[in-house]
Amino acid sequence: MIAWLKNNTKNKWLERYLPFVSKSPEMKIKWLKSAFRKGILSSEEITPYIRLLLSETCSDENAQLAKLVAELDPEMRCLFLDAADVYDTPRLFRLFAAPTLRHAEIALLKKVPPYEKKTQLILDKVFYAVSDYSKELLEQAAGKLMAEGKATEDFRDNYARFQEILGDEEFLLSLYPNARG
């Protein structure tokens, strides 16, 4: 059905009224961009749509999604990242081809819900997503957030703990160089 929509330009009404979950990744991103531009939904209202966008399980669709997200302009990526919740932030951040310092700051400032019992695990996933791209980017973003006073005391503690984890990983890799999985 989606292939038919791409080839048939006369029936734009069907694309307009097709439910979000049955749209292709291209159509979903187009719809989200439109929602951001028009301002019809708040950032919190767009969060479930970003979760649905990232819920694609097929590897072909993941590759297509990565390509589509990479084509977004940096400001639109900021809007997507700002609207995503802390659980979807690592996956969305990894889709960015060349994340900027601003993208890293937005990702690191995500708040974990108060009902979450494993806050450190969730924050570690965000730290790892930024660190996997560039450890320097993580250090710059965290340093800037702490210098500007945007970081909470919990953030400082979690960042220091994460730095210790990275140090431990490097030490273990020096002892067992073939252990990287």
For residue 64, tell me if it sits in a domain: yes
Its domain, for residue 111, covers: 25-179
Q: How many CB atoms lie within 10 A of CB 66?
A: 15
For residue 3, tell me if it sits in a domain: no
User: What does the alpha-carbon distance between residue 152 and residue 145 come to, in Å, rounded to a whole number?
Assistant: 9
Place 62 in a pLDDT band, splitting at 50, 70 and 90. confident
For residue 139, tell me if it sits in a domain: yes
| CA nearest neighbour of 83 among 53, 123, 127, 125 | 53
Between residues 137 and 179, the one the model is more confident about: 137
With a cut of 60, say whether residue 6 has pLDDT above it.
no
**CATH number of the domain within which 92 lies:** 1.25.60
Please tell me the total count of domains within the chain: 1
For residue 122, tell me if it sits in a domain: yes
> What tens digit of pLDDT does each residue of 103-112 get?
999 999 998 8
For residue 164, tell me if it sits in a domain: yes
Q: What is the pLDDT of residue 152?
A: 83
**Cα dihedral sign, 62-58-111-81:** positive
Q: What is the pLDDT of residue 3?
A: 54
- b/e per residue, 143-170, with b = 16+ CB within 10 A? ebbeeeeebeeebeebbeebbeeeeeee
Segment 15-27 mean pLDDT: 75
For residue 48, tell me if it sits in a domain: yes
Segment 62-66 mean pLDDT: 81
In the structure encoding, which two tokens stand for residue 149, read together?
């006073």
> What tens digit of pLDDT does each residue of 115-171 get?
989 989 999 999 999 999 999 999 999 999 999 988 888 889 999 999 999 999 889
In the structure encoding, which two tokens stand for residue 5, read together?
């929509």
With a cut of 60, say whether residue 41 has pLDDT above it.
yes
For residue 5, tell me if it sits in a domain: no
Q: What is the pLDDT of residue 13?
A: 67
For residue 99, tell me if it sits in a domain: yes
